[in-house]
Amino acid sequence: MVELEVRRAGRQDLASMVALVRAASQDGLEIDESDALEWLYGKGLLVAAEGDALLGVLGWQAENLLAVTDLFAISAQAGATDAGRALLERVEAEAQGLMCEAHLVAVEDGASGVAEILAAQGYERQPFADLHRIWREVLGEFTPEQRDVWVKRLRDRMVMVPL
């Protein structure tokens, strides 16, 4: 049996990432390998794979004590729920190491299986308008639409003084 591996994405993953994101997108997102290459160099890009099968991809960045995920796609294959959970756990661990207050996930509504995975991992859906002002400003840099996001607090309190 091949074990699930979560690792940083590489150039060898571009074609598989494009196929996975297209398949997982409800809106039939039109992306190509040049878009995926831009993600590779512009954000933390993680993949979850079992052998040659890519089961999930997650793109995130840390900004102003927030971890923001704006790419989270999960395969419809068996084992993808475990892959989604493993990707989120990896980002949370890295974000806590960076002293992030929360992990905000701003992904396409209805993307296959993502909402269920987020809810099971303790994320809560919140309207953009209900977020803290600073969080809204940071999130606006990643996603111009003022849509609901999934939030998981990583620290009990917001950081109000320099660390």
pLDDT mean over 98-114:
82
Dist. CA 52–CA 35, nearest whole Å: 21
Q: For residue 66, count other CB atoms closer than 10 A to its CB.
A: 24
Tens-digit pLDDT profile for residues 79-88: 788 999 999 9
pLDDT at 110: 59
Q: Which residue ranges make up each domain of the chain?
A: 4-153
pLDDT mean over 29-48:
86
pLDDT at residue 153 above 90? yes
Of the options 3.40.630.30, 3.30.465.10, 3.10.20.600, 3.40.920.10, the CATH number for the domain spanning 4-153:
3.40.630.30
pLDDT at 29: 66
Dist. CA 143–CA 61, nearest whole Å: 12
pLDDT at 151: 95
Dist. CA 34–CA 121, nearest whole Å: 32
Could you tell me if residue 93 is left (phi over 0), alpha (psi between -120 and 50 degrees) or otherwise beta?
A: alpha
- Token pair in block for residue 52: 């040659």
pLDDT mean over 127-141:
89
- Token pair in block for residue 88: 């989120």
The answer to whether 69 and 18 have CB atoms below 8 angstroms apart is no
Q: For residue 39, count other CB atoms closer than 10 A to its CB.
A: 19
pLDDT at 42: 86
pLDDT band at 77 (very low <50, low <70, confident <90, very high): confident
Helix (H), strand (E) counts: the chain: 5, 7
Cβ within 8 Å of residue 38, ≥6 positions away: none
Q: How far is CA 75 from the centre of its chain?
A: 14
pLDDT at 38: 86
pLDDT band at 47 (very low <50, low <70, confident <90, very high): very high
